A = this chain, B = another copy of it.
Amino acid sequence: MQRTTDELLADVACSLMRSYSDNEDFGRRTKPMPDPDAVVQLFLDIRRILFPGYFDGGVGCNADTDVCLLEYIGTVYWRLARQIHNTLHAENGGTCECGPTGCETMALSCNYAREIISALPEIRRKLLLDVKAAWRRDPAATGYDEVILSYPGLFAVAVYRVAHELYKLGLKSMARILSEYAHSKTGIDIHPGAKIGESFFIDHGTGVVIGETTEIGNNVTIYQGVTLGALRIDKDADGGVVRGTKRHPTIEDNVTIYAGATVLGGDTVVGRGSEIGGNVWLIESVPPGSKVLNVPQIRKK
């Protein structure tokens, strides 16, 4: 005899409830954790602080910029503190009770939030250099405004520069939420653990992958489809992956890497001022000033 819809829905609900119970803390969260939407919104509000007037519906808070700025910074501070607290709590557990000495995890979270806020002026300074780099290196750019308003490379780098601050404080899941947000919007996947210098420019960007232990100097330019990745994944005796080693390459100052090139390996160093051609597959170091080109074979019928 066929079950009615009500019975079927109730059965499915019970079945799911059992799965929730059987996998406590795996695939079901009942404790505080960072909220992806809230973390992304924090970045967007930080971007409004970093580039005032560009992302405010064309009007901005002209008449009272400084007060408005304080409101923005102050509310970002408290919202950051909560997301940081939830991140720490999700990772480390621990209780947070209201008492004479306050909540330890919350106090730590506030300190971390202060670190992020304190970093904003320096992040802005670097992003203005990134904007200038884009303008100087892209012949299609019509001006600084176009770069700020519409370049996916700048967007991804802006996200990275904020996410990297979270990463340095050990807030890896918040940092990764942000980097995957940028990845989703731009196709550019910069791990927040990477170290990237000043005046960095990613053109077009789709398909760029920059791994966790990559180090990039100043004045580096990268085109779409470039991978700065791991050569192999080391496994330990048990077959588990080995975590935390330097697995991704080092790119020195003034290097340009053209579209589709792949540079792999933690020992691989691309020397200062080198050019890596399109679609090149590079798994060993090259000295400063190198030009590495792919030589395709073409068969024409």
What sequence of 0s and 1s flags, for each residue 76-109 of chain A, a beta carbon within 8 Å of any chain B beta carbon?
A: 0111011001100111000011110011001001
Copy count, this protein chain: 6
CB atoms of B17 and A103 under 8 A apart: no
- Number of A residues, CB within 8 Å of B: 154
Q: Which of A33-75 contact B (CB under 8 A)?
A: 33-38, 49-71, 73-75
Closest 3 CB pairs of A and B: A74-B78, A29-B53, A35-B58
Taken together as a complex, chains A and B put the C-alpha atoms of A267 and B75 apart, in Å, by: 47
Extra A-B contacts (15), CB below 8 Å, given A75-B75, A140-B191: A10-B70, A58-B61, A59-B62, A67-B96, A71-B79, A137-B233, A137-B241, A139-B230, A149-B177, A152-B180, A183-B186, A189-B204, A281-B298, A291-B301, A292-B301
A296 to B284, CA, bound (A): 12
- Cβ distance A154 to chain B, nearest Cβ, rounded Å: 10
> What mask results when residues 114 to 153 of chain A are scored 1 for a CB within 8 Å of chain B, else 0?
1001101100110110010000111110111110111110
Chain B: CB-nearest residue to A67: B85
Whether A262 lies near B262 (C-beta < 8 A) is no
Whether B300 lies near A291 (C-beta < 8 A) is yes
Interface assignment of A12: CB less than 8 Å from any CB of chain B: yes
CA distance A185 to B36 in the complex (A): 14
Distance from A220 Cβ to chain B, minimum over Cβ atoms (Å)? 15
The verdict on A173 contacting chain B, using a C-beta distance below 8 Å, is yes
| B86 contacts A32, C-beta separation under 8 Å | no
Contact B124 A17 (CB under 8 A): no
Q: Does A295 contact B (CB under 8 A)?
A: yes
Chain B residue numbers with a CB within 8 Å of A127 are 27
Docked CA distance A262–B10 (Å): 45
Check B121–A149 contact: CB distance below 8 A.
no
Question: In whole angstroms, how far apart are the Cα atoms of A204 and B81 in the complex?
Answer: 29
CB under 8 Å from chain B, chain A span 161-184: 172-173, 176-177, 179-180, 183-184
Q: Smallest CB-CB separation from A289: which chain B residue? A: B301
Please tell me if the beta carbons of B86 and A67 are within 8 angstroms of each other in the complex.
yes
| B-chain residues with CB within 8 Å of residue A279 when the two chains form the complex | 262, 279, 281
CB of A161 to closest CB in B, whole Å: 14
Residue A282 is within 8 A (CB to CB) of chain B in the complex: yes
In whole angstroms, how far apart are the Cα atoms of A28 and B144 in the complex?
A: 10
Contact at B9–A77, with CB atoms within 8 Å? Answer: yes
Question: With A and B bound together, what is the CA distance between A90 and B58 in angstroms?
Answer: 11
- A187-B187, A187-B207, A207-B225 as given contacts; A242 in contact with B139, CB under 8 Å: yes
Q: A142-B172, A227-B259, A293-B299 are in contact. Are A69 and B16 (CB under 8 A)?
A: yes
